[in-house]
Structure 1
Amino acid sequence: MFALTKNPLTRRVLRPAAELVDRRVARHMKGLRPEIDALRKEVATLRGQRDSLALLVDGTARSGPRTPTPAQLDTLVEQVARVTGVPKAAARRNVVIAFRNVIALEMLAVGRLAGSTQNICGKLAATPLLAPPEHPEVLEIGTLYGLFSASLLRMLHRAGIEPRMTVVDPLVGSQLQPGTPEGADPTGTPVRMDVVRANLAFGGAPGVDARIVKGFSGDEDVRAQVSDREYGVIVVDGDHSAEGVLADLEWAEKIAAPGGVIVVDDYGDKRWQHVKTATDEHLARPGTRFEFLGAVSTSAFLRVRG
């Protein structure tokens, strides 16, 4: 019942009206009860769907959650458009397709993709839009589980580019970086040849036929095997020390095809400050063949001058 004034006379006068209002409200609420029950069921269903979706994008077994905010997505699209020179609509389309590939492959594959969602999708979206040489040889220095290579092959193939893939990685069971502890991977999956082969198969025929050279990019025998051709796309994601990045870029100068695209991963990432320092140092050297195009998320894109 509605609260009434403390004055006894007023209470006696108003009580019948208050009781009438209470009865009408009760009848109205009773009529709304089916609708309220239906809304409660709908909310429960939506919560269940939300929880199921959260399992797909949860970061427990990844480098982090796969849920970029609208603002992060807009920033990524702007960066891809600026670096590649394409309209924002084309940049957004490639970013969306890259995101779908990332979610699909991480659900099906073994292991994970390393890095933030924005950085991974930025690399996957921008590289094909930079129009590397026709039928390029692709070199990835540092692959972890091979999932980025598989995703990149799919994005290149979608753009009408038929690549051939070479991967260099020590494949010693875990991800290695000088000066950092070898912690267990969140997936619990070992970094080894059979895992990389299984994941590369998601890249189609170029993934199945990919050449995997086991070892470090600074090893003489590794370089001898890999330097048998020129590469239209080179992804530098190996040793993140300043010395390691400089060595990989110096090697890339010798094996990159004219007009090729160089992707330097973790450029500008505060956790790996030596990557940017070394890349900027290399680009400042006279005689370099590389032209800095810009950064997307935490990856730098370079073009090989003719």
Structure 2
Amino acid sequence: MKRISAILLVAAMILALSSCGLFRRDKQAVPDASEEIEKEETGSDAESVGKEEIGPDEEQPSKSKSDSIYTISNKIIVDNEYVTLAVTEAYTEKNGDFKLKMLCKNKTDDPISAYCENASINGYMIYADWYSEARVNSSDESEMVFYAADLKKAGITLVEDVELFIFAYSYGDEGEKSCIFDYYSIYPTGLHAGSVTYPDKTRPKQGVLVVNTGDFKFCIERINEKGELGYTLQVYIENNLPGTDIYVIWEDESVNGFKMDSYWGQVVLAGKRAVCDAPFLHNDFDKNGIKKVDEIEFKLKAVNFDDWDDVIYEGAFIYNP
């Protein structure tokens, strides 16, 4: 249930504006930007926080791929006594959305519902919009959608590896029965587990490195002052802990000295990355009369997703956009 609760906290919005900034940890002055870059490249002083100047963002927009690139067809990913679940086709829409056509065959005498969470593409946590409901002893065709805006933020133009945690359950007079409850991998271009590699992401040329312990990295990449929900920070996270999924949040947030919540949290599975949005709501800014952000204070926290008492990282920061 913790997985389900946590994933519902994640917000996704489109943003465009870029920003750079300064950090102070525990209200101490920040080192010079050039010194921080050198420390990161040489591996020294990995936990130092500072401004990382990496120039203007030159990422190219996602381009639609022809159907011939994605060779997957009628690939069965689950086949048990309750249900058969298959991917019948993969393609990219003209608007950049990537879609998997799914076929769910119900073998039981009760209706079956299926959905997924904690999805990733090419090593990046990407939200998957999918739900399927198959009636008694019948099949249901549906589409799993990965939105263009999320793919673009992660720099993904070709989908080679999709990983999903799939839930499916039947429900009848005797209550719910679990039919699928596991992780599965899908390779739309015909690769396999041994041939998939995750290239380094071309990070924005302007951004702020907040934390880099080697096992855990957190950066603020951009700011969108007019985000859909409000003032929004785009953040980048890496989880390099082997075998440990993490949940990343920040606590005790304040903007210009006014306490407020950002309603943000992100699951990052072991060995995965995430690019996501952390918004502050318009209403909170209006209520406190904030027109310009001078200072954001927060406590960054990463915990073991399976045991929230196991704190992987915790630190207090002040960000000056």
TM-score (structure 1 length as normaliser): 0.24
Structure holding more helix per residue: 1
Structure holding more strand per residue: 2
Q: Which has the larger radius of gyration?
A: 1
